Amino acid sequence: MRKLLFGGGPPVTESGQAQSFSRRAFVLGALQSGVAVLLAGRMGYIAIAQNERYRGLAESNRVQTRLIPPRRGWIVDRHGRPLAINRYDVRVDLIPDFIEDKDRLIAELTRLLGLRPEEVQRIRSELERDQGFQPVPVAEHLSEQQYYALKVHEPDLPGVSVLEGYARSYPTGAAVGHLIGYVGTPNRREYEAENRNPLLITPGIKVGKEGLEKVMEQRLRGRPGAARVEVTARGRLVRQLTTLPQVSGAPLRTTIDAGLQDFAARRLGEESGSCVVLDCNNGDILALASMPAYDPNSFSDGISHSEWAMMREDERHPLINKALNALYPPGSTFKPAVAMALMEAGVDPDETVGCSGGYTLGSRRFGCLGVHGPMNLHRAIAKSCNTYFYTMARRIGIERFSAMARRLGLGQRYDMPVVSQSYGTIPDPAWKQRRYRQDWTQADTLNAAIGQGYVILNPLQLAVMAARVASGRDVQPRLVLERNPPARPLPFAAASFEAVRAGMAEVVNGNGTAGASRLPLDGIQMAGKTGTAQVRNIGADRGRAGAAWRYRDHGLFVFFAPVVQPRYAGAVVIEHGLGGARAAAPVACDVITYLFDRAKAMERLAPLEAQWGGTLAERMARRTAAWVNRPQGAPPPANPVDPA
Amino acid sequence: MALGFLPKPLRELPWLMLICVIAIAGFSLLVLYSAAGGDMRYAKPQGIRFLIFFALALALARLRPETLKQATFPAYVVVLLLLIIVEALGFVGGGAQRWVDLGPINLQPSELMKPVVVLACAHFYSLLPAREIRGWSALWPPAVLIGIPAALVLIQPDLGTASMIAFGGLTIMFLAGVPLRLFAGGIAFLAVALPVAFSFLHDYQRQRVFIFLDPESDPLGTGYHITQSKIAIGSGGLGGVGFLNGTQSHGGYLPEPHTDFVFATMAEEWGLIGGILLILAFALILRWGMRVATDARDRFSRLAAAGLTTTIFFYVAINLLMVMGLAPVVGIPLPLFSYGGSAMMTVMICLGLLMAIERQNRRDSRRG
C-alpha cells in the first residue's frame, strides 16, 4: 500500500531533493510562461481576430436608436379652424428598469413637482404592476420652473426621463369631446395588436382612444423620426449622434363647422341630449354635439380616477355619444317618413280623417293628443294628429312605411369613421318573427305609425331623414371633407316631398305644434316636426312634469331650413325634456339662427348661459371641483338648473 | 548595471522587478483615473495605498529568512484565529463576512492566509527529513495546514480565495518533492469527486460555472460580466480607443470596471499593446521570483520563494483568465492594478519577502 502510494526506489537524499526542486521549479516556471503565452494569445484573438465583432457589439451597447414620436396630424373643421392641435409640452416619465430606489424617487418627485396624493397613488400602482415594457407617466405640462428643477436633479434620479415634446390639445374642449375623441398612452392590447410596434412604447407617444382620433389613428399618426444617441447602461443620454426627423401626420379636414359645433354644445346647456346638423344636399355633418360631454383635454392628460368616477356615476351619461349611440323611440318625428309612404302609396293628401281624440282597434283605444276634427295630410303633420296616421298607416300596411323609413335612412348603419353607431330598429313582420317568434299585429302597426312600439332610432338617423326629405336626395352623412359627387335624387315623386315639406313648414310657421320656435330672422323659415317619446307608460300623468327626471318623456325635433331651397337639416333630442316643442325645437331654432345670423344667436344664448351659471367650461370646472371636494359617500352633484 | 553612484543598499535592490511593479501601479492609476470618468476618486486612494504598501515591502525586505521562518507558525496560528473570528462574527451577524473591522482598516484574514499558508508549508517541509518525503508524515500535516483555512474560507463563501489558498499549499507540496503519482491520483480523484462537490456549491456559484461554460446563454444575467468584458477587450483592437475614450466602462456596460474587470477597462482604451505590456511586466516579476527561488540555498527559502511567486501568479492568471472568458467569474482582482487594498497588500507582502530572500541569496553567494 505504502509502496503503491509513494513509490519505491532508493531513499531520498537532500541533494536528490534539491535536484527534484530544480526540475519541478522549472516545470512550474514553464507552466507560468505557458499561461502568459495563452493569455497573450487569447487577448490577441479577442482584440484582433474578433475585433470587428466586438466593436459591433460595443457599438450596439453604446448607441441606441430612439424613436421620436411623430406629431399627430391636426384635426380641423371645414374652414380649417383647429379642433385638435399639438402644443409644446414637457413631460416626465419613469423608466421602471432603471429605477434604483423607488421610494426615494417618488418622494423626491413629489417634492419637486408637487404631486397630489392621488397621483402618487396612481404612479405607485402603475409601477407595481410594472409591465416592464412601458414608461410610467408622472406628469405633463411642466412649468418652466418645474422643468429646470427636474433637469438639475435628473442625474441623481435614475429612472426619470424628462422629455420635451408635443401634447394634444383641443381648443374647443368639451364641445368636441364625443366627436373627436381623445388620445392616451397605448395599453398592452393596442401594443400587441400592432405587432409590438416599438413606437407604441416610446415615452410620450399617444394614440387615439375614442372618436375620430381612434378611427383615423393611422392617418393622423405620421412617421416617427429616429435619433441615434449614445447612452449609458442606465439609459442616460451621453450625446446625440444623428437624427432622422419625424414626419407629422397629415391634417384631417372634417365637415364640422367648429363655430356651429361649439354653439350647439353650449346651447344644449344643462340638458342631456344631442344636436345633429347636416348640409342636407351633400350630407356633410356640420355639428354632432352630445351633452353632457367630457373634456378631451383632461382625458388626454390621463384622467384622474375621481373624474372618471364622477362621469361614470352621472345619470346624464357624459361618456356616451348620444348622437350615435343612444336610441330613442322617435315618436311623432317619425311621421314625415310615414307621410312620405302615404304619398307614395297613392293616398290622396286632401282626403280627410275625422279625429275624435283617438282610434279604436277591436276593444283597444289608441289615443290622440287632442280632438282635431277633420284632418288631411298637411294638417295632420302640422297638428301631429295620431288618429290620421293610425288610419292611413293601417291602410297602406307596415311593410310599405317601414320600407320608406329605411329608404329615408332610419334604422340604417352609415359608412362613417366612428368607433361605433347604434342603429336601432325599423320593425316589420319578418323582424318580429325573427326577434320574438310572434306574428305581427295591427296594434303593432298603429304603434309604429306614430314612432312608438318597436321603433327605436338614433338622432343622426333622424337628421338624415330630415335631410333626405328636405333635399329629395339620397344623402349619406359624412364626417371627412372630401370632394364627393352630389347625392343622387331619391326615386320618389316631387309631389310627395312637397306635401311632406309643406306639412313640416306648417308645424313651425303656421298653425302647428312648434309655433313658438319660429326663426327670429327675416325671410328665412324653418320647417320641422316635433316628437315626444314615452319613457314610461304609467298612469295618466306618465312622464309628465311632476315625475322624477329619469321617468319624464324625451323631447325630439327634426328640422330643415330654409323652407324654400333647404340647405340645412338636423335633429335635436333632449332626454327627459318632456316634449319636442317645449325642449327640442327651441334648441333647433337657435342653432339654425346661428347659421344665418351669428350675432343674434349669441345674443339669445347669453341670458341662457347666465341662468345656467356660466359657460360650459366654467360649469364643468365647478362641477369637477365639487365632486373632488364632496363629502365621502355623497352622490354626484345635481345639475344646478333643473329644466322643469 | 550602471548604478555605481548609488549607495549599496539601494544599488542592491532588484531594480528590474521594482520598475515593473512601479510601472504596473502607475499604469493602474491612469486607468483608474479614466474609469472614474477623468476623476481622481479611485486613483488618489489607490496611489496612497501603493506608496504605503511599497514601503511595507521595502521594510519586509530587511527581514532575514531565518527570522521569517521562525515567525511562520505563530503567524499561521494568528491568521487562522482571525479567520475563525470572522466566521463567528458572520454567523452571529447572519450573513457572509470576510472582514475584521480593525478601526482604520478592514482586514481580510483570508487574504493574509494566502502567503502565510505557503510559508507554513515551506517551513514544514524544511523540517521534514528528506527520507520521510515518501510517507504519510509528508502528507497529513500540510493537508491539515491547507485544509482548515481553505475550508473556512470556502464556507464564507469565497470559492476564489479558497482555491488560491489550496493551490498555494499544493504548489509547495509539489515543489517539496511529494511523489508525482499522488498528484496524478489526486487529479483523477478530483475528476470523480467534482460532480459531488458541485452539488455543495452555492446556487450563485453554480450559476457562475454554468454561465462560464456558456456565457451567451444569459447575456443579461450572470453571463453579462463575461460577455461585457470580452466586448470591452475585443473592441479595443490593437491600439485601443484611446485614453479617456472608453465607452463600455464609462457607459456602465462593463461591470466592476475599476475592480475585478479593470483589465477590460484598460484593454478597451489601450488595446492589445497595453495588454501585452502589462502581461509582460507581470511575467518579468514572476521570472524574477522564480529565479530568487532557484538561487536560494536553504530549503525553506527555496520553497517559500517559489510558493510566494506562485501566489502572485495565481492572482494574475485567475483574474486574466476570468476577464478573457477562460475561467469562471470568481472575485479575484488583478493585483497592483485593480482598485482595492487587500490584493495589493498580499502581493506586496509576497514581494517584500521575496526581496528578503533575494538579499540572503546575495549574501550567501558573496560568502561563497
Task: Categorize the per-residue pLDDT at A640 as very low, low, confident or very high, splitting at 50, 70 and 90.
Answer: very low
Write the pLDDT tens digit of every residue in A92-111.
Answer: 888 777 777 888 888 888 88
The residues, ordered by sequence, that sit 6+ positions from A520 with a Cβ below 8 Å of its Cβ are A589, A593, A600, A604
Q: CB distance A43–B275 less than 8 Å?
A: yes
**Percent of all residues in chain B with a pLDDT value above 70, rounded to a whole number:** 90
Question: Which residues partner with A65 through β-bridges?
Answer: A228
Q: CB distance A233–B174 less than 8 Å?
A: no
Between positions 261 and 320 of B, the ones with CB within 8 A of A are 267-268, 271-272, 275-276, 279, 282-283, 286-287, 290, 293-294, 299, 302-303, 306, 310, 313, 317, 320
Write the pLDDT tens digit of every residue in A193-248.
Answer: 888 888 888 877 889 988 899 999 999 998 988 888 888 777 677 778 888 888 99
Q: CB distance A17–B133 less than 8 Å?
A: yes
- Cell numbers at A422, concatenated: 347604434
The pLDDT of residue A470: 95
Q: Are A527 and A378 in contact (CB under 8 A)?
A: no
The residues, ordered by sequence, that sit 6+ positions from A41 with a Cβ below 8 Å of its Cβ are none
Contacts of A232 in chain B (CB under 8 A): 250-253
Helices (H), B94-158: 109-127, 140-154
The pLDDT of residue A102: 81
Mean pLDDT of A11-33: 90
The pLDDT of residue B216: 59
- Cell numbers at B153, concatenated: 474560507
The pLDDT of residue A644: 32
Residue B105 has pLDDT above 80, yes or no: no
**Percent of all residues in chain B with a pLDDT value above 90, rounded to a whole number:** 56
Rounded-to-10 torsion of CA B70, B75, B80, B86:
180
Q: Are B266 and B356 in contact (CB under 8 A)?
A: no
Question: Which among A133-147, A509-523, B35-49, B93-107 has the top mean pLDDT?
Answer: B35-49
Task: State whether residue B101 is helix, strand or coil.
Answer: strand
Task: State whether residue A422 is helix, strand or coil.
Answer: coil
Residue B253 in contact with partner chain A when CB distance is under 8 A: yes
Chain B's closest residue to A20, CA to CA, is: B177
Q: Are B168 and B118 in contact (CB under 8 A)?
A: yes
- Closest CB to B131: pick one of A12, A39, A43: A12
Q: Are A249 and A219 in contact (CB under 8 A)?
A: yes
The pLDDT of residue B101: 61
- Closest CB to B230: pick one of A2, A54, A234: A54
Phi, psi of B128, deg, nearest 5: -75, 125
Residue B116 has pLDDT above 50, yes or no: yes
Could you identify the residue written with the cell 430612439? A66
Residue B33 in contact with partner chain A when CB distance is under 8 A: no
Q: CB distance B303–A22 less than 8 Å?
A: no
Contacts of B133 in chain A (CB under 8 A): 12, 17
Query: CA angle, corner B143, sides to B138 and B144, nearest 5?
Result: 115
The pLDDT of residue A258: 93
Could you identify the residue written with the cell 502572485? B312
Alpha-carbon span B293 to A21, nearest angstrom: 10
Q: What is the sign of the dihedral through the CA atoms of B73, B76, B82 and B88? A: negative
Residue A295 has pLDDT above 90, yes or no: no
Complex-level ipTM: 0.92
Mean pLDDT of B30-43: 92
Mean pLDDT of A583-605: 93
Mean pLDDT of A153-173: 82
Residue B93 has pLDDT above 80, yes or no: no
Alpha-carbon span A120 to A102, nearest angstrom: 12
Distance of CA B113 to the CA centre of its chain: 11
The residues, ordered by sequence, that sit 6+ positions from A486 with a Cβ below 8 Å of its Cβ are A281, A282, A473
Residue A319 per-residue DSSP state: T
Is pTM beyond 0.80? Reply is no
- Best residue of A3, A27, A28 to probe chain B, by most B CBs closer than 10 Å: A28
Mean pLDDT taken over chain A? 86
Mean pLDDT of A280-291: 92
The pLDDT of residue A540: 46
The pLDDT of residue A305: 64
Task: Strands of B60-208 (E only): list them.
Answer: 100-102, 105-107
Chain B's closest residue to A27, CA to CA, is: B175
Task: Categorize the per-residue pLDDT at B61 as very low, low, confident or very high, splitting at 50, 70 and 90.
Answer: very high
- Closest CB to B233: pick one of A14, A17, A46: A46
- Closest CB to B134: pick one of A12, A33, A50: A12
Residue B300 has pLDDT above 70, yes or no: yes
Chain B's closest residue to A5, CA to CA, is: B182
Contacts of B237 in chain A (CB under 8 A): 47-48, 51, 55
Name the minimum distance, in Å, from the CA of A316 to any CA of chain B: 53
If one compares A632 and A572, the residue with the highest pLDDT of the two is A572
- Best residue of A43, A55, A238, A239 to probe chain B, by most B CBs closer than 10 Å: A43
If one compares A97 and B339, the residue with the highest pLDDT of the two is B339
Residue B181 in contact with partner chain A when CB distance is under 8 A: yes
Question: Which residues partner with A457 through β-bridges?
Answer: A328
Residue (of B142, B109, B112) closest to B127 by Cα position:
B142
The residues, ordered by sequence, that sit 6+ positions from A401 with a Cβ below 8 Å of its Cβ are A337, A338, A341, A342, A393, A448, A449
Name the minimum distance, in Å, from the CA of A242 to any CA of chain B: 18
- Cell numbers at B328, concatenated: 469562471
Look at chain A and count its residues.
644
Residue type, A545: A
Q: Please give the interface size between A and B, counted as residue pairs whose CB atoms are below 8 Å apart.
A: 157
Q: CB distance B251–A7 less than 8 Å?
A: no
Residue (of A532, A541, A535, A631) closest to A579 by Cα position:
A532
Contacts of B230 in chain A (CB under 8 A): 46, 54
Q: CB distance B235–A11 less than 8 Å?
A: no
Q: CB distance A54–B175 less than 8 Å?
A: no
The pLDDT of residue A636: 46
Residue B177 in contact with partner chain A when CB distance is under 8 A: yes
Rounded-to-10 torsion of CA A8, A9, A10, A16:
-100
- Best residue of B132, B228, B235 to probe chain A, by most A CBs closer than 10 Å: B235
- Cell numbers at A241, concatenated: 449622434
Q: CB distance A12–B135 less than 8 Å?
A: no
Mean pLDDT of B245-268: 89
Contacts of A2 in chain B (CB under 8 A): 135
Q: CB distance B283–A36 less than 8 Å?
A: yes
Alpha-carbon span A129 to A528, nearest angstrom: 55
